[in-house]
């Protein structure tokens, strides 16, 4: 009731931050796909906290153990289960919080939702650590998509009040997206990196935190994918994106900005070139009527500032039933946006593969040969 996503590719996420393990079961992958484990490691690494300026010092080994669904390096077609053990859990850092609700966190809502029985250590099931299994799932989904030349990549559109160059929605290249996936602070305008890091450093020095916006592009996705009304591409993507902790907004194409255009500006005019139809602009983010139109799918995701801050905040002590003060100790990212990027890429990959399976089916995706005695 909460932890399963998808229709054709179903992912079921489980775990608590300070329990034995977090993990995922992925049901529906076509069989016979060669898994590149290095890509998985690389993607897990992008999400992993580093000792870098913007990130927590928690040493998350993030060693994935695959329990099923992959044999001889290939998908078997049966559910892929993978777990990541929780090893470095200094729960003492959290213990003193037990009765002090952390502002911005799910402490109160979770308490009521679970009648006080949820595992509260390190945010438990609400922990950002639950995104690690999503990255694992997405790293495989992305590899399958890549076979069909569908590439997903993101840059950090803004941190606090500083902005990167946006994508030009009519011309985004595979090289550009792959480059972004290789950067620790992925930006289109490289000068932004330093600015972003300074803002994050400033927030950290002030015992505070900052958020930002991630802009993502999906190229190579065929036209005609998705369905009108409820199973449209925007609904599907937004649904999985809002499942990422700290996400508070999702917009496609010009998004909220499109409301400040006239219809004659917002409409993407069509033109024909070499027998193919394109749009001159891409204010609609590659989607019309919930269905892809063949242009890059572009969306932005708003990630709020890290809720855990060392600064003193007002709160309530639920044991005493009184107002209280709180400083959240422990290791916290002053900005989680860079770590949200691979999660967003992964979530998008899962959602897109799910939608594509609807159109092409297991057979369409199955590149396996007839059994040949190996």
Residues 268-327 that bind a copy of itself (CB under 8 A): 268-272, 275, 277, 279-280, 283-285, 287-294, 300, 302-309, 311, 313-316, 318-319, 321-323
Q: How far is the CB of 178 from a copy of itself (least distance, A)?
A: 26
Could you tell me the smallest distance in angstroms from the CB atom of residue 355 to a copy of itself?
Answer: 10
The region that residue 317 occupies, defined by phi over 0 for left and psi between -120 and 50 for alpha, beta otherwise, is beta
The encoded tokens of residue 102 equal 């952390």
Interacting positions 350-369 with a copy of itself (CB under 8 A): 357-364, 366, 368-369
Q: What is the C-alpha R_g of the chain?
A: 21
Identity of the residue, 175 or 364, whose beta carbon is nearer to a copy of itself in the bound complex: 364
Select 191 or 370, whichever has its Cβ closest to a copy of itself.
370
Task: Tell me whether residue 191 or residue 272 sits nearer to a copy of itself (CB atom).
Answer: 272
- Residue 67 or 178: the one with the smaller Cβ distance to a copy of itself is 67
356 half-sphere exposure, CB direction, 13 A CA radius? 25
* 73 belongs to the binding site for a copy of itself (CB under 8 A): no
Q: Is the Cα torsion angle 156, 157, 159, 162 positive or negative in sign?
A: positive
C-alpha distances in angstroms, 144 versus 108, 149, 231, 282, 371? 40, 9, 22, 26, 21
* DSSP state letter for 167: P
**Dihedral angle of Cα 235, 238, 242, 247, to the nearest 10 degrees:** -150
Give the residue among 181, 188, 186, 210 at the shortest CA–CA distance from 198: 210
| CB-CB neighbours of 202 under 10 Å | 13
Q: Please report whether residue 205 would count as binding a copy of itself according to CB under 8 A.
A: no
Binding flag, residue 253, a copy of itself (CB under 8 A): yes
Q: Is 273 exposed, middle or buried (0-12, 13-18, 19+ CB in 10 A)?
A: exposed
Q: How many residues bind a copy of itself (CB under 8 A)?
A: 168
Task: Check residue 22 for interaction with a copy of itself (CB under 8 A).
Answer: yes
Site for a copy of itself in 42-71 (CB under 8 A): 65-69, 71
Tell me whether residue 109 or residue 182 sits nearer to a copy of itself (CB atom): 109
Identified binder of a copy of itself from the candidate list 144, 213, 217, 349, rule CB under 8 A: 213
- Residue number, 188 or 238, with CB nearest to a copy of itself: 238
With CB under 8 A as the contact rule, the residue among 35, 40, 44, 80 that binds a copy of itself is: 80
**Residues 6+ away with beta carbon under 8 Å from 126:** 105, 106, 110, 245
* Least Cβ distance, residue 335 to a copy of itself (angstroms): 9
DSSP one-letter string for 280-314: S--TTTTEETTEE-SSPEEEEEEEPPPS--SS-EE
Could you give the string, one character per residue 103-142, with x where binding to a copy of itself holds by CB under 8 A and - elsewhere? xxxxxxxxxxxxxxxxx----xxx---x------------
Question: Closest distance between a copy of itself and the C-beta of residue 91, in Å?
Answer: 12
Distance of alpha carbon 261 from alpha carbon 253, whole angstroms: 12
In the list 39, 227, 330, 331, the residue contacting a copy of itself (rule: CB under 8 A) is 227
Q: CA 337 to CA 256: how far, in whole Å?
A: 20
In the bound complex, what is the minimum distance in angstroms from residue 167's beta carbon to a copy of itself?
16
Q: Is 195 in the site for a copy of itself (CB under 8 A)?
A: no
Q: Does 15 bind a copy of itself (CB under 8 A)?
A: yes
Could you tell me the two tokens for 140? 């495989």
Helix or strand holding residue 142 (H, E): helix 131-147
Nearest residue (CB) to a copy of itself, 191 versus 260 = 260
Q: Is 104:209 a contact under the CB 8 Å cutoff?
A: no
For the bound state, the minimum distance from the C-beta of residue 276 to a copy of itself, rounded and expressed in Å, comes to 10
**Of 167-186, which residues contact a copy of itself (CB under 8 A)?**
none
């Amino acid at each position: 009731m909460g932890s399963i996503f998808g229709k054709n590719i179903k992912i079921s996420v489980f775990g608590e931050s300070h329990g034995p393990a977090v993990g995922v079961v992925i049901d529906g992958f076509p069989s016979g796909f060669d898994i590149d484990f290095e890509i998985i490691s690389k993607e897990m690494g992008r999400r992993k906290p580093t000792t870098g300026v913007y990130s927590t010092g928690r040493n998350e080994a993030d060693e994935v153990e695959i329990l099923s669904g992959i044999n001889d390096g290939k998908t078997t077609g049966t559910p892929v289960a993978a777990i990541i053990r929780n090893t470095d859990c200094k729960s003492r850092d959290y213990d003193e919080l037990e009765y002090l609700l952390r502002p911005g966190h799910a402490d109160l809502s979770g308490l009521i939702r679970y009648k006080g029985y949820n595992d509260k250590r390190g945010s438990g099931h609400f922990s950002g650590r639950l995104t690690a299994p999503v990255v694992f799932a997405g790293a495989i989904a992305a590899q399958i998509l890549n076979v069909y030349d569908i590439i997903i990549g993101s840059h950090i559109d803004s941190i606090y009040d500083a902005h990167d160059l946006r994508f030009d929605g009519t011309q985004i290249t595979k090289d550009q997206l792959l480059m972004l996936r290789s950067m620790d602070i992925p930006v289109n305008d490289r000068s932004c990196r330093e600015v972003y890091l300074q803002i994050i450093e400033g927030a950290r020095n002030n015992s505070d935190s900052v958020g930002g916006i991630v802009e993502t592009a999906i190229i190579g996705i065929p036209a005609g994918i998705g369905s009108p009304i409820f199973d449209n591409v925007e609904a599907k993507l937004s649904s999985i994106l809002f499942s990422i902790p700290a996400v508070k907004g999702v917009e496609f194409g010009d998004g909220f900005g499109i409301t400040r255009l006239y219809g004659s500006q917002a409409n993407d005019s069509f033109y024909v070139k070499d027998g193919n139809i394109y749009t001159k602009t891409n204010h609609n983010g590659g989607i019309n009527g919930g269905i892809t139109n063949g242009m890059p799918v572009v969306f932005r995701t708003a990630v709020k500032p890290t809720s855990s801050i060392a600064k003193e905040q007002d709160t309530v002590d639920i044991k005493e039933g009184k107002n209280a003060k709180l400083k959240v100790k422990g290791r916290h990212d002053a900005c989680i946006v860079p770590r949200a990027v691979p999660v967003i890429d992964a979530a998008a990959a899962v959602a897109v593969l799910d939608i594509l399976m609807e159109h092409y089916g297991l057979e369409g995706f199955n590149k396996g040969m007839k059994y040949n005695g190996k």
